Amino acid sequence: MRRAERLRLPAQIALAALLAYALGFAFTSLFPGYLPKIGGLWSAISAIVVTQGSRKDTASSASLRLLGSAIGAITSAVYLTLLPFHPIGMAVTIFATVLICNLINVPSHGRLAAITVIVIMVTASLDPTLSPGLNALLRFVESSIGTGVAVLEVRLWPAAATASGPSSSPTGP
């Protein structure tokens, strides 16, 4: 493996994290009191999770991230609308979230959905006055920002060359 190829993925991940953090921070700053650093953090985490070694793998990871984030955001919003944050309630919500993923036949989305639950629940614990619905929606949008940055960056990054030609087509995943 050439040195440039060994540096490609680390560079993509670092750049995606930086761009996603900046965009997530800026977006969440539009909502006073909703913790823009958490918005930047969550966007950057999403970009890091989604960025993979190929366009196809990144696209697949993006679909997992978006659906998992949506499921986790919805279950968290329902719980926090009914009850305040509690660690046991968080565990119950994680259980319900992963169970829902299994029941709708997307078990591989359960882990990312559970991570979304934790972020939303802990954010709610930092400021219990946050609207559960808006908190969950912001965390989903921030996750989408990071996911979008990762997908766009991998698509725009020059494809790696191999002895037999490009590793992926410029237009295909």
How do residues 103-145 score in pLDDT, each as one tens digit? 999 998 999 999 999 999 999 999 999 999 999 999 999 999 9
Q: Are 143 and 135 in contact (CB under 8 A)?
A: no
Between CA 120 and CA 140 the distance in angstroms is 9
**Whole-number Å distance between alpha carbons of 98 and 106:** 9
The whole-angstrom separation of Cα 131 and Cα 50 is: 28
Kindly list the distances between the CA atom of residue 129 and the CA atoms of 35, 80, 125, 132, 140, in Å, as whole numbers in the listed order: 12, 11, 9, 9, 19
Note the pLDDT tens digit of each residue in 76-113: 999 999 999 999 999 999 999 999 999 999 998 999 99
The model scores a pTM over 0.85: yes
Q: Give Cα 91 to chain centroid, integer Å.
A: 20
What are the domain boundaries of the chain?
7-158
